[in-house]
C-alpha cells in the first residue's frame, strides 16, 4: 500500500513519535510511506529509515495557507500515487480532506485529542473510518460529533518496547530519587498541580530531583515563566530542572524512579505512560480520559483525582518508600504492554483498517419520485450489485415507495425522504443531507435528476456523483452526463448513467419481491370475489395517477370492454387506488355486467400478486404498468399524452395501443383542446382483440 500521514510537525511528542514509529514499520513491511509536516527534529530519523518526507506549512490555520497546502498536497498525492491519506490533526485534516476529494486517495483520521465541538474540528469525523486511541474518545466522537458507531475503529497507541528496553541505573550509591513529568508544557497537563504536589514530597523526602521534560509551544513562553516563578515560591529551585524537549527520553526514564502524569482534562490516551512502563518506571496518573484504560489502579499503576495534590504526593511517596509495590506495578504493567500496546499490534490493526477502507464501498442510489419510477430502478439496482458485489448499497426513495424495495436483495439499507410534508421543505432537505454525509458515500447515483436531487447529491459530499446534466443543477454533480439521448426506453435511459461506471446495458427486466403474506392476502381477496379458480381473468387499471388525468381511458370505454369480455366468458377485475373509488362506483352504473371491484384494497406488492393471477392486464401509462412488467404478466399499455418509446417498461409479452393525433405527445396533465382525443380514440373493440391475441399466446 502507498500511505501518506499528515500532521502539524515532527518534534518530540506522543503523536509525532507514534507517526514516526508507524512510518518506519510500514517501510519494513514493504509499504510505501510518506509523511507531510511542517518539519521538526524527527525528520532526519524518518528519512534515515527510508520514509519520504515533504515539508508544508500544515500547522498554520490561515485560510490562504490551507488553500496553498491543499494544492501542494494534491500534487504530492498524485506524484506518489497515494492510496490512503491519514490525517492526525485538525488543520492537516482540512487540507487532506479536500485534497482526497480532488484525487483518488481515501481519507482517514485518528483523533488524538478530546476535541471541543465546533465547525473547525468536525472534519475529524468526516472520514469513513475514524481511528480512536481509547474508548473514551470513541464515545466522545459518537456523542458530540455524531460519528456513527460503525465508523469508529478503536486502536490503542503503542510503544516500541525495544527502544525503551534500556538497563535501569543501579540505585546503589545514589543519594536521591528522580521524579519525572513528560509532556508539552501547557495548562492542560497540570504542571501547576504537579509542582504543588512535589513541594509536599520534598518536605517528606528531601533527597529528590524533579525533571520536567518537554517545552512550551511557540508564543507560550509566558506560561513557562509562570511555572518558574511558582518553583521559586514553593522553595523547589534546588530540586526542579526544566530539561526542555529531549530526544533521549528512554535514557532519562532509565534514571527515573516515578513518572507522574497530572493532566486536568481528559487525555485521549497517555502514550508517555506506556513509555515509562516499558522502561520499568512505576506511574502515578490522574483519572482522566483514556488513562483509566491503560492503568488498572493498584495493579499497573496508581490513579488519583485531577488537581488533588495531596493524594498525588502521597502516591509518589508510597512508591518511593515501597520498592516491592513499585516492582509489582512495573511487572504487571509490562505484561499488559506486551499483549495490548506493542507497535506490532497497533500497526497491524491500522493496516487492517486501511485494507478495509480500500475494499469497502458505500453507494447511494437516489430515486425520490413516484412508485412506478422506483419499480423501473430495480433493473439498475441489480446491475449495480453485480458490478459491486461487496459494496454496501443504500437507496433513497420517497415514503410511498419504501415497500417496493423492502425485500430487494440488491439493497442493504433503505432511506426515506418524505416530500409530502410542506413545512420548510428546503430546511428538511439540508437536514437530510447532513444525515447522508455521515455515511461517507464513495458513489452517489442520481436517477431522479431534478433540482432537489442534484442539491442533495452536492450537500451529501460523496466521493463521486453521477447523473444527468439536464439544464437544471447538474453542475453540482462531479460527473454529470451531457447531451444524453431522450428517445430511449426508461431502463435503457438509466443505463446511460451506469455506463460511466463500466456497467453495460444488458438484462433490463424488472423485478418485485412479494412476501408469503401478500400471496395469502390476494388469495383471500380473490376468493371473496368468487375468482379464486378463474382460469381466464383480465385485470383493468381504472386510472393513472391523480396528477395525470389525461392518461386515463374513458370510463364508458372501460365499461364497454367489461361487457365485451363478459360475453366471451372472461372475468374482469378492476384495480385502482383509494382515490379511484368514486370512479369505480360510476363504472358499475355504466356496465351491464358486474366486474369484480378491488379498487383501494391492495398496496403495491399485493397488487403485484393480484396482477400475477391475471391472464392479461390493461392499463394506461402508470405504476401498475411497470408492476405488470415486473411480474411478467402480459399487458396492454394505452398511451396518449406521453410517448411509449420513452416510457414503456421492458417486457416479453405485451401490446401497445397508441394513437398519435397532431397534438400528441403533449405531456400535459390537462387536455388543451378539451377533446382528450388521444385516449378516446382507443376503442374497446381493439383492446378486446389485443386481449384475445395475448391470451392465445402460450406462456
Q: What is the dihedral of CA 248, 88, 83, 386, to 10 degrees?
A: 140
Find the mean pLDDT for residues 656-667: 86
pLDDT at 172: 53
Q: What is the pLDDT of residues 17-75, one digit of tens each?
A: 889 989 999 999 999 999 999 998 899 999 999 999 999 999 988 899 999 999 999 99
- What backbone phi and psi angles, to 5 degrees, belong to 69? -65, -35
pLDDT at 169: 66
pLDDT at 166: 81
Task: State how far the Cα of 273 lies from the Cα of 134, in Å rounded to an integer.
Answer: 14
CATH superfamily entry for domain 2-154: Glycogen Phosphorylase B; (3.40.50.2000)
pLDDT at 425: 65
**Does 496 have pLDDT greater than 70?**
yes
pTM greater than 0.85 (yes/no): no
Pick the CATH number of 517-696 from 3.40.50.150, 3.40.50.2000, 1.10.10.410, 3.40.50.880: 3.40.50.2000
**Does 213 have pLDDT greater than 80?**
yes
Q: What is the pLDDT of residues 471-481, one digit of tens each?
A: 778 888 888 88
pLDDT at 46: 92
Characterize 529-553 residue by residue with b for buried, 16 or more Cβ atoms within 10 angstroms of its Cβ, and e for exposed.
bebeebeebbbbbbbbbeebebbbb
Q: What is the pLDDT of residues 77-98, one digit of tens each?
A: 999 999 999 999 999 999 999 9
pLDDT at 271: 83
CATH superfamily entry for domain 361-499: Glycogen Phosphorylase B; (3.40.50.2000)
First to last CA, the chain: 55
The residue extents of the domains of the chain are: 2-154, 177-340, 361-499, 517-696
Task: State how far the Cα of 380 lies from the Cα of 510, in Å rounded to an integer.
Answer: 9
382 falls in which pLDDT band (50, 70, 90)? very high
Let me know the angle formed at the C-alpha of 568 by 565 and 573, rounded to the nearest 5 degrees.
35
Let me know the angle formed at the C-alpha of 71 by 66 and 74, rounded to the nearest 5 degrees.
115
Task: State how far the Cα of 638 lies from the Cα of 156, in Å rounded to an integer.
Answer: 66
**Does 171 have pLDDT greater than 80?**
no
Find the mean pLDDT for residues 606-618: 95
Report whether 542 contacts 577 (CB < 8 A). Answer: no
- What backbone phi and psi angles, to 5 degrees, belong to 696? -80, -15
CATH superfamily entry for domain 177-340: Glycogen Phosphorylase B; (3.40.50.2000)
Report whether 477 contacts 596 (CB < 8 A). Answer: no
170 falls in which pLDDT band (50, 70, 90)? low
Amino acid at each position: 500500500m502507498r500511505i501518506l500521514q499528515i500532521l502539524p510537525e515532527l518534534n518530540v511528542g506522543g503523536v509525532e513519535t507514534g507517526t514516526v514509529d508507524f512510518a518506519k514499520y510500514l517501510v519494513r513491511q514493504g509499504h510505501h510511506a510518506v509523511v507531510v509536516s511542517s518539519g521538526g527534529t524527527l525528520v532526519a530519523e524518518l528519512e534515515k529509515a527510508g520514509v519520504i518526507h515533504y515539508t508544508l506549512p500544515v500547522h498554520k490555520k490561515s485560510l490562504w495557507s490551507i488553500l496553498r497546502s491543499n494544492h501542494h498536497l494534491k500534487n504530492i498525492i498524485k506524484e506518489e500515487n497515494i492510496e490512503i491519506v491519514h490525517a492526525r490533526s485538525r488543520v492537516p485534516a482540512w487540507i487532506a480532506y479536500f485534497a482526497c476529494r480532488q484525487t483518488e486517495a481515501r481519507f482517514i483520521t485518528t483523533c488524538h485529542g478530546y476535541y471541543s465541538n465546533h465547525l473547525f474540528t468536525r472534519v475529524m469525523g468526516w472520514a469513513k473510518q475514524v481511528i480512536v486511541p481509547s474508548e473514551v474518545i470513541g464515545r466522545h466522537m459518537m456523542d458530540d460529533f455524531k460519528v456513527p458507531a460503525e465508523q469508529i475503529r478503536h486502536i490503542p497507541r503503542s510503544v516500541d518496547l525495544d527502544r525503551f528496553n534500556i538497563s535501569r541505573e543501579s540505585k546503589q550509591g545514589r543519594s536521591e530519587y528522580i521524579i519525572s513529568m513528560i509532556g508539552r508544557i501547557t495548562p492542560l497537563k497540570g504542571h501547576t498541580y504537579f509542582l504543588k504536589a512535589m513541594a509536599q514530597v520534598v518536605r517528606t523526602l528531601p533527597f529528590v530531583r524533579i525533571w520536567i521534560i518537554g517545552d512550551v509551544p511557540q508564543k507560550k513562553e509566558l506560561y513557562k515563566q509562570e511555572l518558574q516563578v511558582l518553583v521559586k515560591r514553593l522553595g523547589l529551585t534546588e530540586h526542579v530542572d526544566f530539561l526542555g524537549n529531549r530526544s533521549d527520553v528512554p535514557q532519562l526514564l532509565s534514571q527515573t524512579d516515578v513518572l507522574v502524569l497530572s493532566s486536568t482534562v481528559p487525555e485521549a490516551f497517555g502514550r508517555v505512560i506506556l513509555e515509562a512502563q516499558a522502561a520499568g518506571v512505576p506511574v502515578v496518573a490522574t483519572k482522566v480520559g483514556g488513562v483509566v484504560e491503560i492503568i488498572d489502579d493498584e495493579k499497573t499503576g496508581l490513579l488519583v483525582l485531577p488537581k488533588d495534590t495531596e493524594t498525588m504526593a502521597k502516591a509518589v511517596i508510597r512508591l518511593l518508600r515501597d520498592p516491592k509495590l513499585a516492582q509489582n506495578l512495573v511487572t504487571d504493567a509490562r505484561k499488559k504492554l506486551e499483549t495490548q500496546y506493542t507497535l506490532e499490534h497497533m500497526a497491524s490493526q491500522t493496516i487492517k483498517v486501511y485494507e478495509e477502507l480500500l475494499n469497502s464501498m458505500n453507494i447511494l442510489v437516489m430515486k425520490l419520485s413516484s412508485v412506478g419510477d422506483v419499480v423501473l430502478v430495480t433493473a439498475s439496482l441489480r446491475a449495480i450489485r453485480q458490478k459491486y458485489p461487496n459494496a454496501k448499497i443504500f437507496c433513497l426513495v420517497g415514503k410511498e415507495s419504501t415497500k417496493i424495495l423492502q425485500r430487494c436483495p440488491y439493497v442493504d439499507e433503505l432511506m426515506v425522504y418524505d416530500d409530502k410534508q410542506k413545512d420548510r421543505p428546503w430546511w428538511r432537505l439540508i437536514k437530510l443531507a447532513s444525515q447522508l454525509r455521515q455515511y461517507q458515500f464513495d458513489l452517489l447515483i442520481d436517477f431522479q435528476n431534478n433540482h432537489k436531487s442534484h442539491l442533495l447529491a452536492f450537500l451529501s459530499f460523496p466521493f463521486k456523483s453521477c447523473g444527468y446534466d439536464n439544464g437544471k443543477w447538474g453542475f453540482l454533480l462531479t460527473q454529470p452526463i451531457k447531451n444524453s439521448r431522450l428517445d430511449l426506453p426508461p431502463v435503457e435511459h438509466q443505463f446511460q448513467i451506469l455506463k460511466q461506471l463500466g456497467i453495460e446495458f444488458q438484462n433490463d427486466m424488472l423485478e418485485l419481491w412479494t412476501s408469503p403474506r401478500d400471496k395469502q392476502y390476494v388469495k383471500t381477496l380473490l376468493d371473496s370475489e368468487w375468482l379464486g379458480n378463474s382460469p381466464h381473468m383480465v385485470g383493468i387499471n381504472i386510472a393513472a395517477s391523480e396528477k395525470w388525468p389525461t392518461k386515463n381511458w374513458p370510463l364508458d370505454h372501460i365499461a364497454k370492454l367489461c361487457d365485451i369480455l363478459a360475453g366471451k366468458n372472461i372475468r374482469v377485475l378492476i384495480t385502482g387506488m383509494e382515490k379511484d373509488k368514486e370512479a369505480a362506483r360510476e363504472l358499475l352504473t355504466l356496465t351491464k355486467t358486474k366486474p369484480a371491484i378491488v379498487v383501494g384494497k391492495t398496496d403495491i406488492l399485493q397488487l403485484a400478486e393480484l396482477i400475477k393471477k391475471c391472464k392479461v392486464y390493461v392499463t394506461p401509462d402508470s405504476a401498475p404498468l411497470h408492476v405488470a412488467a415486473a411480474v411478467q404478466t402480459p399487458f396492454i399499455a394505452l398511451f396518449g399524452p406521453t410517448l411509449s418509446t420513452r416510457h414503456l417498461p421492458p417486457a416479453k409479452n405485451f401490446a401497445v395501443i397508441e394513437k398519435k393525433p397532431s397534438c400528441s405527445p403533449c405531456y400535459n396533465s390537462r387536455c388543451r383542446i378539451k377533446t382528450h382525443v388521444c385516449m378516446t380514440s382507443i376503442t374497446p373493440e381493439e383492446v378486446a382483440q389485443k386481449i384475445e391475441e395475448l391470451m392465445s399466446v402460450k406462456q
